[in-house]
Chains A and B, each alone.
Chain A
Amino acid sequence: MTRILVIDNEAPIRANIERLLRLEGFEVIGAEGGARGLELARERKPDLVLCDIVMPEVDGFAVLAALKADPGTRDIPFVFITASAAPHERAICFERGATGYLSKPFTLAEVMAMVRDCLPQRGAGG
C-alpha cells in the first residue's frame, strides 16, 4: 500500500488531507511538526511526503534538507504545501529539491493530481 506522510502544524488542514488520502486508498501518516515528520519519514519510509513550509522550530525546508542528506530518504518524492506567498518561494522550493509545490488554499482535485503526479508509477493503493 502506498504510504504518504503529511506534515503540517495546522491541525485542520492536516486532518483534511489525511482524510482525503485515506478515502482515496492510501496509507497515511501525519505529523504536526518538522521534527516528528522527520522521525516518521526515517522509520516508516513513506512513498511520498507532503509538507508545510512555515512551521515552528523545524520548518519545511529543514525537513527537506534532512531527507535529502539521508541516503535512505533522499529519493522520496517531496511536495510542499504552503500558505505563504513570499516571492520566489516556488523557485526556491524546486531549487532545494522538492518534487512538487501546492499553495493553500487548494482543491482536493489539485491535491490528488499532485499526489499521482509525484508518486512512482504504480497502481494507487498498490
Chain B
Amino acid sequence: MSSLRIQGGGVKSEALRRPRPEAELLEAAFDVARVGICIIDGQGRFFRVNPHFCELVGYAPDELTGSPWTVVAPPDLLPNADRFLEALFGDSPKVQREWRIRRRDGRLFDALASFKSIALETGCSHLVVTFTDITERLRAEQEIQSLNRELEERVAQRTEQLVALNAQLNSEVAERRRAEQAQEERAERLTRQRELLLELAQLDAPDFPSALRAVLKSTSSALEAARVSYWKMVDEPKSCVREMLYLRDADQFVEGADGMSLEAAKHPQLFAALAAGKPVIASCAQSGGATNELAETFLRPNGISAILAVAVWQQGRIVGMVSAAHVGSARHWLHEEIDFSAAIGSIVALALESARRRRLLAELAESERKYRHVVENANEGIVIAQDGMLRYANPKALEFTGRSLESATRTPFLDMIHPEDRGRVGANYLKRLRGEPVENHYSFRVIRGDGSILLLEISAVAVEWEGRPATLNFLADISERHELEESLRRTLSERESILETAIVGIARLRRARISWINRRFEEQMCGYARGELVGRSQRILYFDPAEADRASGEALPLLETGQIYTTETRLKRRDGTHFWAHISGRAVDPDYRNEDSIWVVMDVSEARNLQESLARTLSEREIILRSTLVGITFSVDRVHQWVNETFARILGYEPRELIGIRSDAHFPDLASWQRFGDLAYPVLRTGHPYSTEWQMRRKDGGLVWCQIHGQAVDPADLSRGTIWTFVDISERKRAEEEVRRALARERELSELKSRFVSMTSHEFRTPLATILSSTELLRDYGDRLPEAEREELLGMVKTAVKRMTEMLEQVLFIGRAEAGRLEFSPAPLDVRALCGSLLEEMARGRPAARRIRFDCEGGRFERVLDEKLVRHILTNLLDNALKYSPEERDVSFRLRCEGERTVFEVSDQGIGIPLEDQAHLFETFHRASNVGTVSGTGLGLAIVKKSADLHGGTIHVDSIRGRGTRFTVTIPDRSPA
C-alpha cells in the first residue's frame, strides 16, 4: 500500500510495477490538499485517508486506515450504513451532496462530499470521497441571515416614520387646499352676478314667458327686490302694460296684463328717460324727475319704496320695460345694481328676439314640414347631390336605390350607378355644378342594394344647398317602360328576319297607320315595293272600305280589353286585285293606350291549298299504310290513336274497335303488357328503336306471335307517341318449333345410335369371346382335354351362339316392329301351361330364375294369344326383374285370367326406375339411369310394349326408386264368345 492505485482500466501491467512520476506528484497533492480525501474499499473500510481528512474528523491516519468508514458516520445513518454505501458504489460516476460527519470527539459537522466509485483491475471497487468542511460557510450564512433580519426591521421602522410624516404633509396640503377653496368660493361669490347675467344671456327657454320668468326671478334675487315686473310697450310707446310680476316673498308670478299700465302722457319723464336709454330710478326717499312723476301715482299706492327700471330695446325701438321694486325701508340702488339692471334689459330684449326667432323658426318648420310631406310622398325620387354624395334622398329615391337612408347618403352616389353609366352621370353632374350646358333629361341604370338593376330617368337642376352648390334631381323608374320598349325592339329586331320571311304577313298599326310591315305582307301578299306602305293608313289594305270600317269597329272593344280580334276579309293588292285573308290583331299595350296593335295576316287561299295538299298526302299515306302487310299502330301512352287494317287483322279486330283502346287489350295478360312496357320504353327513351318478338292475344282469344318494332316520335317526350309495326310470325314460330322438335328427335336418335353401338359392342363381344376361346381351346388343346371337357366347350359355344341369336332376334324384332312388319297370329292356348313351361326353361338356363314365385288366379286359362309375343313379354319382364333385384329377394309373377282380360303382373324388390326415366321406358335402347354395370340391350321393354300393343293390351308401371318395380300387362280377351 505504498502508492495510490487509482488507475484506468487500460493501464499496462509494466506501469503498475513502478510508480510513475505523475503518481508521485499526485501523492504529494494528496498529502497537502486542503480537502479531506478518503478512499473506502469494497468492504467499507478506509483504504487511504489524507492528512486533511484526519484533521477534519480528529483521528490520526493510522487509526483510520483499515477501520470501517462508519466511525465517521452520524449515528442516525448507522442502521442503513451498508445499504447507503452500496448505493454510493452503484451511483452515477460522480455525486456531490452535503453530508454530516461525526468527529472522534462525537461532534458533528457538515461537509460537502463528492463520491466517485472506481473499479480497479483487480476486480474490486473503491470509493473515493472528498470532503470540504462547510461548517464555517453555514455559520456565515446564518449570520448574514440574522443581519438581514435586523436590516429589515430597521427599514420597517424607518418606513413607518416616513408614512407618519407623509400623513402630516398630506393633512397640511389638504388644509391649504381648503383655504384655497374658500378663496375660490369667495371669488365665485364675487362673480356670481356676472355669471347670472351670462347664464341669463345664454338662457335657452322654450318660449318668451319662461325666459321672462327666469329673468325676473334672477333679477329679484340679484337685486334683492321684492317685486320685479316686465312691462310691454304699446301704441308706439305711448303707454306700457304690465305683463308679468314676480313676487319674491311668495315666489309667485302674476302673469298676463292685469290692468296695471303707465301712460306716456302721465309720465313723460319716465318715457323720456327710457327713450334716452337711461335706467329710471325712483324712490320715495328722494325727489327727482321720475320719482316725482311716479311717487304719487305708482309708488305710494303700491307700497313701493324704490324702483329701478330699464328699457328693453329691440331693433332700435323700446318694446318693454323691466322694473325692480323695493318694498319696505328706503333703498338706494348701487352702481353695480344699476349696471346689472341695464344688462337685464338687454337680456329681456335677447329673450324677446329669441322668442321671435323661435316663432319664425316654428313657422318655417311648419312650412318645411308641408313641403317635406310633398317631397316624401312624391311618386318621383328626389335627391340632392353635393360633393359626390347624396345629401338628401326621399323615400321613393331610397326605394329606387334599394338602400337605407344611411347607406344611400354614405355611399358616393356614383358607386350606386351602373359602371357603364357612371361616366355620363358623373360628367353631367360636374357640368351642371359648373353651370355649363348639360342634358337635363336622360336615363341611367342604378345598381340597387340587392344587386339588381333599375333603369331611372333623371331630371336635374343645379341648386344651392346649405349655402353651397348642389344638384336637385328628380328620378323616375322607367325600367318597366324601358323593358317593354326594349323587349318590343328586341322582338322586332331579333325576329325581324323571321317575321320578314314568315309565312304569315305581319304589320304593326299605330293610330290606324302602318308603322311596320313585314316583307311577306307588303311585297308578296299585297304587291307593294318594300317600305311603300309604312306610314300609310290601314284602310289602304282593305279591298272594301266598308269592310275596313266594320273590322275597325269590331276590333276596338276587343283590343281595348287585351283580347285578340280575328276575322276573314278581302285585302287589296297594289294592282287592285284582292285576296281572302285571315287577319288577327292584338294591342301592344294591354289597355290599347297608344292605339298600337300588331296584326297577323294569312293568305287563306294558300292555307286552303296547303290543307288540300295535306289531306291528299294524308290519304295517300293512309292508303299506303292501309295496304301494307305490316301492322302499324300509332299509340300515345299505350293507347291506340290510329291503326292500319293489317294491324287490326293480325289481332282479329276491326280498326275502329282498337282506336282509343289501351293496348293491354291484346296482350296475353296484364303482367305481360306491363313487362313489355318495362322493356320497351327505356329503349325508346334513348331514341333507339325497340324490337322484339312477343305473343299477342287475338280478339278470339287465340295467341299470335308478332315481331314488333317500335320507335318514339320524340324520344325526349314519349307523350308524343310511338309508331309500332307488327308482323305476324306465327307461321315462322311454328316452323321454328318443328325444326326444334326435329332437332331434338335427331339428337335423341343419335344418342340411341351410340347407345346401340355400345350395347352391341358389349353384348356381342362377350359371347363372341366365349365362342372364339372355346373353339381355339378345342383346336389347340383338344387332344389334352378329357372328353367331358370337350363337350362342355362345345356346349358353351352353343349357348353363346344361342345368346347372340336371341339378341339378334331382339334387334330384328324391333326392326320388324318399327317397320310394321311384325307378325301377329293369335291362337287359343293354355296361358297357365305356357307360363309354367316358360319358367321351367328359364330355370334350366339360369339358376337365379328359381327366385320367381308364380301364382295364378281365375278359372279359364284358355286364351287366344300369340304365343311367341307372350313369351317375349314374359321373358323380358322376368329377365329384368331378376337382373335388377338382389338375389335374396323373390320375384313375384302373377297371372290373372279375369273374365274379359288376361293380366300378367311381375314385381320385384329391386333398384326401381327413376321417375324421369319412366316416360322413356319403352323407347328402344333406352336404359334407366340407375342400371349401373348390369348389361342389357335396352330393347326388352320396347319388345314388351310392341307385343302388348299388337294384342291391343296395355302396360302399367309402378315403381319407386330403391324399392322395386311392378309391371302389369293387361291383354283384352279375343276368345270367341
Contacts and interface: CB of A to CB of B under 8 A. Distances in A.
A71 interface: no
B777 A16 contact: yes
Given A12-B800, A54-B935, A83-B765, A20 B777 contact: yes
Contact of A108 (B773, B789, B934): B773
A62 B770 CA distance: 24
A103 interface: yes
23 contacts: A10-B766, A12-B770, A12-B774, A19-B777, A54-B762, A55-B933, A56-B934, A83-B762, A83-B765, A83-B766, A83-B769, A85-B757, A85-B758, A85-B762, A103-B765, A104-B765, A104-B766, A105-B765, A105-B769, A105-B772, A107-B776, A108-B776, A111-B773
B225 interface: no
Contacts of A12: 770, 774, 796, 799-800
Given A54-B933, A56-B932, A86-B758, A16 B781 contact: no
B781 A106 contact: no
Contacts of B793: 16
Contact of A84 (B758, B770, B780, B934): B758
A15 interface: yes
B771 interface: yes
A29 interface: no
Nearest to B773: A16
A10 B768 CA distance: 12
Contacts of A59: 933
B766 A16 contact: no
Given A56-B933, A84-B761, A108-B773, 16 more contacts: A12-B770, A12-B774, A13-B769, A16-B793, A16-B796, A23-B784, A54-B762, A54-B935, A83-B761, A85-B757, A85-B761, A104-B768, A104-B769, A105-B765, A107-B772, A108-B777
Interface string B748-771: 000000000110011001101111
A86 B789 CA distance: 34
A17 interface: yes
Given A55-B933, A59-B933, A13 B766 contact: yes
Main DSSP-derived SS at the A contact region: loop
Interface of A: 10, 12-13, 15-17, 19-20, 23, 54-57, 59, 83-86, 103-108, 111
Contacts of B769: 10, 13, 83, 104-106
Contact of A105 (B758, B773, B780, B799): B773
A16 B770 CA distance: 7
Contacts of A111: 773
A63 B710 CA distance: 67
Contact of A15 (B762, B796, B934): B796
Contacts of B935: 54
Interface in B910-966: 932-935
Contacts of B784: 23
Contacts of A83: 761-762, 765-766, 769
Contacts of A13: 766, 769-770, 773
A85 B768 CA distance: 14
A54 to B, nearest CB: 5
A106 B772 contact: yes
Interface string B340-381: 000000000000000000000000000000000000000000
Nearest to A16: B773
Contacts of B774: 12, 16
Nearest to B780: A108
A12 B798 CA distance: 11
Contacts of B799: 12
Contacts of A108: 773, 776-777, 780
B765 to A, nearest CB: 4
Contacts of A23: 777, 781, 784
A6 B772 CA distance: 18
Interface of B: 757-758, 761-762, 765-766, 768-774, 776-777, 780-781, 784, 789, 793, 796, 799-800, 932-935
A100 to B, nearest CB: 16
A111 B772 CA distance: 12
A20 B773 contact: yes
Nearest to A103: B765
> Interface centre among B769, B772, B776, by most A CB within 10 Å?
B769
B794 to A, nearest CB: 12
A55 B766 CA distance: 12
A49 B773 CA distance: 19
Contacts of B777: 16, 19-20, 23, 108
A75 to B, nearest CB: 27
> Interface centre among A10, A12, A55, A57, by most B CB within 10 Å?
A12
Contacts of A54: 762, 933, 935
B774 to A, nearest CB: 6
Closest 5 CB pairs of A and B: A104-B769, A83-B765, A16-B773, A85-B761, A105-B769
Nearest to A24: B781
B773 A17 contact: yes
Contacts of B766: 10, 13, 83, 104
Contacts of B771: 105
Contacts of A15: 796
A55 B934 CA distance: 7
A97 to B, nearest CB: 20
A95 to B, nearest CB: 20
Nearest to B766: A83
B833 to A, nearest CB: 31
A105 B758 CA distance: 15
Contacts of A105: 765, 768-769, 771-773
B773 A106 contact: yes
A79 B768 CA distance: 20
Nearest to B800: A12
A105 B765 CA distance: 6
Contacts of B758: 84-86
A12 B793 CA distance: 9
A111 B773 CA distance: 10
Nearest to B772: A105
A118 B934 CA distance: 30
B225 to A, nearest CB: 152
A80 to B, nearest CB: 13
A85 B766 CA distance: 12
B777 to A, nearest CB: 6
B889 to A, nearest CB: 15
A10 B773 contact: no
B782 to A, nearest CB: 11
B773 to A, nearest CB: 4
A32 to B, nearest CB: 12
Contact of A10 (B770, B776, B780): B770
A101 to B, nearest CB: 14
> Interface centre among B771, B776, B934, by most A CB within 10 Å?
B776
Contacts of B776: 107-108
A16 B799 CA distance: 14
Contacts of B932: 56-57
Contacts of B772: 105-107
A85 B762 CA distance: 7
A56 B933 CA distance: 5
B98 to A, nearest CB: 90
A120 to B, nearest CB: 25
B209 to A, nearest CB: 140
Contacts of B770: 10, 12-13, 16
B780 to A, nearest CB: 6
A107 B774 CA distance: 10
Contacts of B934: 56
A56 B931 CA distance: 9
A54 B763 CA distance: 11
Nearest to A12: B770
A26 B268 CA distance: 194
Contacts of A16: 770, 773-774, 777, 793, 796
A107 B320 CA distance: 175
Contacts of A57: 932-933
